[in-house]
Structure 1
Amino acid sequence: MTPSQTSDLLQLTYRADLDLLVGRWGYQPDPVLLPAAYQHLARTAQDCGCSYWLQDIRRRTLNDPATTEWLLREYFPDMARRLGGRLRVAYLTSPSLLESIMAAPGFVSAEDYAGQAHGVAFFGDEGAAVAWLREQRP
């Protein structure tokens, strides 16, 4: 994936005022493009030392089950270790994608991550997502 392709797929902005890393996903990618995008996300998060992420996936229409499994089992735990033992990710989704995610077998609610190094939550409202991320701070 070229830098231009990465920026079209995922635009990252560190919001120092909120200590949030905001990722805006531009389109529904082919799953083969996701590893490079997530490597870019990892590098940026480490560069700014930010473990609170808002990921806007409203332009995506589905979640690839294999990618979701990899994120939950490998990527997020690894990123939590790299970022000092803590990672919180709030996903901002479209209503249809939110419904699909929550209805999927094995869906884990935000409350089920209590006490873990990483936590993930899904929202249909950006304000609620940011509020959740603020509540997650020690």
Structure 2
Amino acid sequence: MNSDLPAPLIDFAYRADLDILVSRWGHQPDPHELPAVYQQMCEAAVDQQARFWLQDIRRRTLNDPGTTEWLLNKFFPEMARRLNGRLYVAYLVGPALHESIINRPGYVSAEAYDDKPFAISFFGDEGAAIRWLQIQQTDKVGS
């Protein structure tokens, strides 16, 4: 095995036991790579009718503001429509990226998504992220 090969950009796995689509990012993507990756994510979610997502972005170092705007205004609302219910996304982030995200102008907390067709939240611990998704499953299954 050649250890010089870069990690795959993203790995998807649907956890049927948890009803969670898990996406683990292998490295920081170039913004031009993202449309194809999000199309793959869309297909995986639609195939499983998965409205609860764990996005492990701990290997990423920054968020592209244009991509973030597109996710919040187009992709997540469209995914909720295609999945026939509210979409819940738990982001698992490293400390530096988490600080960057929450200190960015325009950052809004999870509560600010109450009137949106999706909810997102950020976590430094995978167990806490999964627990949040499970609480959403039991509290808001039909939402």
Scaled to the shorter chain, the TM-score interval is: over 0.9
1:93 Cα deviation from its structure 2 partner: 0.4
Q: Distance in 2 between matches of 1:84 and 1:69?
A: 22
Tell me the equivalent position of 2:3.
none
> Secondary structure of the residue that 2:129 maps to in structure 1?
helix
Q: Distance in 2 between matches of 1:107 and 1:133?
A: 21
Instruction: Name structure 1 gaps, 5 residues minimum.
Output: 1-6
Q: Distance in 2 between matches of 1:16 and 1:115?
A: 28
Q: Distance in 2 between matches of 1:125 and 1:111?
A: 19
Q: Distance in 2 between matches of 1:109 and 1:136?
A: 16
**TM (normalized to structure 2)?**
0.90
1:59 aligns with 2:59: yes
Q: Distance in 2 between matches of 1:128 and 1:98?
A: 15
- Percent same amino acid among aligned pairs? 60
Deviations along 1:86-119, one digit per CA (max 9) or x if unpaired, are 1000000000000100001111111111242101
Instruction: Name structure 2 gaps, 5 residues minimum.
Output: 1-6
Greater Cα shift, 116-125 or 25-34: 116-125
Tell me the equivalent position of 1:13.
13
> Secondary structure of the residue that 1:13 maps to in structure 2?
strand
Q: Relative to total residues, which structure has the larger helix share, 1 or 2? A: 1
Greater Cα shift, 120-129 or 108-117: 108-117
Larger Rg: 2
Tell me the equivalent position of 2:116.
116
Deviations along 1:36-73, one digit per CA (max 9) or x if unpaired, are 00000000000011000000000000000000000000
Q: Distance in 1 between matches of 2:134 and 2:115?
A: 16
Counterpart amino acid of residue 27 in structure 1: H
> Secondary structure of the residue that 2:8 maps to in structure 1?
helix
Tell me the equivalent position of 1:127.
127
Q: Distance in 1 between matches of 2:32 and 2:40?
A: 14
Tell me the equivalent position of 2:107.
107
Tell me the equivalent position of 2:4.
none
Tell me the equivalent position of 1:73.
73
> Secondary structure of the residue that 2:131 maps to in structure 1?
helix
Question: Where in structure 1 do 4 or more consecutive aligned residues deviate above 6 Å?
Answer: none
| Number of corresponding residues | 132
Tell me the equivalent position of 1:45.
45
